[in-house]
Amino acid sequence: TRGTVTAFAPFDARADAEALRKAMKGMGTDEDTVLTILTTRNNAQRQEIASAFKTLFGRDLVDDLKSELTGKFETLMVSLMRPAYIFDAHALKHAIKGAGTNEKVLTEILASRTPAEVQNIKQVYQQEYEASLEDKITGETSGHFQRLLVVLLQANRDPDVGVDEGLVEQDAQVLFRAGELKWGTDEEKFITILGTRSISHLRRVFDKYMTISGFQIEETIDRETSGDLEKLLLAVVKCIRSVPAYFAETLYYSMKGAGTDDDTLIRVMVSRSEVDLLDIRREFRKNFAKSLYQMIQKDTSGDYRKALLLLCGGDDD
């Protein structure tokens, strides 16, 4: 794993549960104990702590966290308590719930997760909410954006087994003719090729495309498409090139400029902390001339900042 959070040793779920109960019992809360325990145990261990907490005190740990903590710090701690697929399913449910859809969340999760992860998310969504994720998404989206989401939800990307140079050339030509050489754009070709071909194949297609057209595929998508479809196609391309680089950019823009997009910051830090946050940190440092740690430090405050910095796992300067 390239995560910053790994299994804590020596681990004692009962001792952690007792420490958390003590930290939240009575007047006032010992936030330091709460954040230190929850950011340094991995998710499997956090589930054991929750189970021990209920066994020892007959109380629900998540309910106690919600009643004792507030604001962004509460959101972060509660998010850490959700198992990975439940976390993604929950984020998607909230993205399509109520008035207006949060296309950004749909884009980020479905463009970046592996086919196996998408299958698991769909399964968990069905179990948790007794509804089909695909039905919910198609009910809330439309047009080519919806079609690409549906293709990604099928999770049928070709497996990475060798690259056929003939097919690489063919796909690059098809994309060139569907975009730059055409009056209007044949979005369907972009959707099918970018949504179904293997990662290693598509990386070769992007190189070949550059040779044929003189443009990066991102420049063509930028010129030929717009709105949510453009953002989703670009996210898919970026994730095919490098998932850590995509998330480094996502984190950077969540904190750049006035105000912080805390929902995105929390979602990425929590969902990648056990996966590839070390690689994300490296890409962040390389692409933005500052470390993720420094940017979090400058952009957040209080217990929320302390917890995020612990998840970040160190500075890269």
State how far the Cα of 172 lies from the Cα of 307, in Å rounded to an integer.
45
The model's pLDDT over 90-117, given as tens digits with 9 standing for 90+, comes to 999 999 987 789 999 999 999 999 999 9
Q: State the DSSP code for 255.
A: H
Domains and CATH numbers, the chain: 13-81 (1.10.220.10), 84-154 (1.10.220.10), 165-241 (1.10.220.10), 245-312 (1.10.220.10)
- Output the CA torsion sign for 139, 143, 149, 154: positive
Whole-angstrom distance, CA of residue 34 vs CA of residue 188: 49
DSSP-assigned letter for residue 148: H
Contact 72, 266 (CB under 8 A): yes
Q: What is the pLDDT of residues 21-75, one digit of tens each?
A: 999 998 899 999 999 999 999 999 999 999 999 999 999 999 999 999 999 999 9
Whether residue 128 has pLDDT greater than 80: yes
For residue 313, pLDDT beyond 80: yes
Predicted TM-score (pTM) of the model is 0.96
From residue 38, alpha-carbon distances to 32, 34, 57, 272 in Å are: 10, 6, 18, 15
Residues 226-266: tens digit of each pLDDT: 999 999 999 999 999 999 999 999 999 999 988 899 999 99
Of the candidate ranges 23-27, 97-101, 154-158, 169-173, the one whose mean pLDDT is the lowest = 97-101
Cβ neighbors of 11 (< 8 A, separation 6 or more) are: 41, 45, 48
Average pLDDT over residues 282-303: 97
Joined together, the tokens standing for residue 46 give 């956090």
37: left (phi over 0), alpha (psi -120 to 50) or beta: alpha
Angstrom CA distances, 31 to 64, 65, 75, stand at 13, 10, 14
Within the chain, what is the greatest distance between any pair of CA atoms? 70
The answer to whether 235 touches 246, Cβ cutoff 8 Å, is yes
Average model confidence (pLDDT) across the chain = 96
